[in-house]
Structure 1
Amino acid sequence: MRRPRARLIYNPSAGKEALRNHLPDVLDILEQGGLEVSCAMTHGANDAIVAARQASAEHFDYVIAAGGDGTINEVVNGLSTLDYRPTLGILPAGTTNDLGRALGIPRDLKKACEIIVQRHAREMDVGKIGDDGYFINIAGCGRLTELTYEVPSKLKTHLGQLAYYVKGLEKLPGLKSIHMEIDSPDFAYEGKAMLCLIANSNSVGGFEKLAPNAKLNDGLFDVILIKQVSLPELITLARMAMKGDHTNSDRVVYFQTESLTISSSDLVELNLDGEFGGHLPQTFRCLKHHLKVLVAPPEEGGRLLLP
């Protein structure tokens, strides 16, 4: 009987080089769990996209993305355009690991491997932007969202999550609101705003309650819009977001929709899963149940994705 084949696509520099140090153990657990595993190491931008497409072309059963949210984003972009899409496994080895948090996958790589070898798959939504871009966790626009891809990779390797706080403090004094026009079947807005987040999961930038009603397979985005606020008000909202109370503020708009268009008279950059994703205007669509992902069975503490 043929063993299921898995292609492990990994970023050796992710998360203080955690995977590089544990790769032999990871491969041993996966092989002992019944998988036939081969590896593809990334060296630069788009390598994981190419590797994911190659795994599909060779008809692998599983593609395992090992790295941070950027690596997972590339793998998702590689798979999402294809007719045959191998089931996705996640090894959270990055700095923030938003998707891993949302799925309840532990940061301990050995425990994450144990989830993969159980091969319990669930369907998951994917966000599509424009004609050929995809994101799995978050799309954002606004000055504050730019810091995630402005943090140098070497700084993230040495400081981890602290690197984002350092960069955030550096940007705070110069934060400005931007003009936004949002149009969707469920809500419309025109005016000044600090940022807009289009979330597919509840975990964004390490905040696990930023989109408290979000589900990964309900076919809907959760959209968070922060209107124009002062710096002290923004800091207060950040504190409230730690508890999920920010949605009660009159400076925050929170709604769900399956599609929306955002434009601006300003030059506004987009952040897709922590990486630079072009500029506004753009149209966003939620592709319901577009990928399958490996998660822990509910009876073993796995988080249910169903609404």
Structure 2
Amino acid sequence: MRALLVVNPKATTTSERTWDLIVRALRSEVDLSVEYTRRRGHAVALTRAAAEDGFDVVVTLGGDGTVNEAVNGLMTSAPALAAPASAASRLPVLAVVPGGSTNVFARAIGLPPQWSEATSVLLEGLRAGRLRTIGLGRADDRYFTFCAGLGLDAAVIRQVERARLRGRKSTAGLYLRSMVGEFFIGMDRRHPAIRLEQPGEPTELELATVVIQNTAPWTFIGDRAINPNPAASFDLGLDVLALRQLRVPSTARTMAQVAARRPDPRGRKVVQLHNLSEFTLSATRPQAFQLDGDYLGERLKVRFTAVREALRVVF
């Protein structure tokens, strides 16, 4: 079995010793090649080449951004483009070793958040052939594994990324402070700018912010899952939670509902849509945009599509 390990050397919870231990463990089971990413987007090229070179498994060591790039490399490779309907069976299996600060995707497919325990689980999964076929989301021409956002959550991620470039660590406190700052200072909360259109359904107008999920949870704060759309699943289409306004009382109430141990967001200012195959978000002014926790700039329009049974993963 040929496998490629893609290592993000900037992953926040790993070190050279970590990489060495993981390489040794994987080499006990597979014929392993190792590549290190050197820039943003490099993992896309590495995994696309692995798919086209006939590798059986692609393993990522990094955070959710590295996983996202690997998925996009696989899904835009020649085998996937040649037969989109049967891409899952033609592509390398994806295995994920968590090395980021949150590791939402790894935890969503049932892996432990610690790299050492997750590596053991993956080795057992490879030996047993324990695979799961999952669906993905696509925003225009880019795939995502667990979430996307237009508006407030993406603006928060933008602020966090800027802080990290200044040397700050990615912590729950940093996200919270960034959210408070964006909510009270950065956002135009008086004039909702987003609309949601889907085939054959009434258009949802004047939305202030939109969260899209391909699975649950949306993210984690420590060990607590945060679930705007608790019914979202890799086996279904896309789920949406949107807020019509960002007033303090209604937003605080919704955030409390989302963070509850049994989340149930609802209210007059909440729009919740389940299992969508396709829809389009458009805005009257540019909105911050994120996929899988990576800020991707501002957008006026994004078309979302559910891609079912897209990829096999080890769990």
Could you tell me the TM-score, scaled by structure 2's length? 0.84
Relative distance call for 1:109 and 1:186 in structure 2 (3 A) is: farther
Q: Is the 8 A contact 2:133 2:311 kept in 1?
A: yes
Given the alignment, which residue of 108, 117, 121 partners 2:131? 121
* Aligned ranges 1:54-65 → 2 under 5 Å: 54-65=49-60
Residues 180 and 193 of structure 1 are in contact (CA less than 8 Å); yes or no, is this contact kept in structure 2?
yes
SS at match of 1:268: strand
Counterpart position of 1:214: 232
The count of aligned residue pairs is 288
Report the AA paired with residue 198 of structure 2: S
Secondary structure at the counterpart of residue 277 of structure 1: strand
Flag structure 1 segments of 5+ consecutive residues without an equivalent: 296-307
Could you tell me which residue of structure 1 aligns to residue 150 of structure 2? 141
Q: Kindly indicate whether the alpha-carbon contact (under 8 Å) linking 1:14 and 1:94 is maintained by their aligned counterparts in 2.
A: yes
Where has structure 1 moved over 6 Å in runs of 4 or more? none
Deviation at residue 26 of structure 1 after TM alignment: 1.2
Supply the distance in 2 between the matched residues of 1:57 and 1:47 (Cα, whole angstroms).
16
**Aligned equivalent of 1:277, options 278, 283, 296:** 296
Describe the superposition over 1:99-148 as per-residue Cα deviations: whole angstroms up to 9, x where unpaired: 12211211121211122222211101111122x21111111101332222
Q: 1:246 to 1:227 in 2, by over 3 A?
A: farther
**Do the aligned partners of 1:221 and 1:286 also contact (CA within 8 Å) in 2?**
yes
CA drift of 1:19 comes to: 4.7
Q: CA deviation at 1:52?
A: 0.7
Alignment of 1:54-203 (within 5 A): 54-82=49-77, 83=79, 84-117=90-123, 118-119=125-126, 120-130=130-140, 132-152=141-161, 153-154=164-165, 158-174=169-185, 175-177=187-189, 178-185=192-199, 187-203=201-217
Superposition deviation, residue 246 in structure 1: 4.1
Q: What is the distance in 1 between the residues matched to 2:292 and 2:217?
A: 11
CA deviation string 1:31-59 (max 9, x = no partner): 22x11222111121101111111211221
Partner amino acid, structure 2, of 1:176: D
Match of 1:291 in 2: 311
**For residue 269 of structure 1, what is the amino acid of its counterpart?**
A
- 1:300 matched to which residue of 2? none
The residue type paired with residue 143 of structure 1 is: L
Residue identity (%) = 24
- In structure 1, what is the equivalent of residue 279 of structure 2? 260
Q: 2:25 aligns with which of 29, 33, 42?
A: 29
TM value normalised by structure 1: 0.86
User: Given the alignment, which residue of 34, 37, 40 partners 1:42?
Assistant: 37
Give me the CA root mean square deviation: 2.1
1:9 is aligned to 2:17:
no
Instruction: Select which of 268, 271, 282 maps to 1:250.
Output: 268
Structure 1 residue 187, shift from structure 2 partner: 4.5
CA distance in 1, matches of 2:42, 2:64: 14
Aligned partners of 2:232 and 2:238 also within 8 Å:
yes
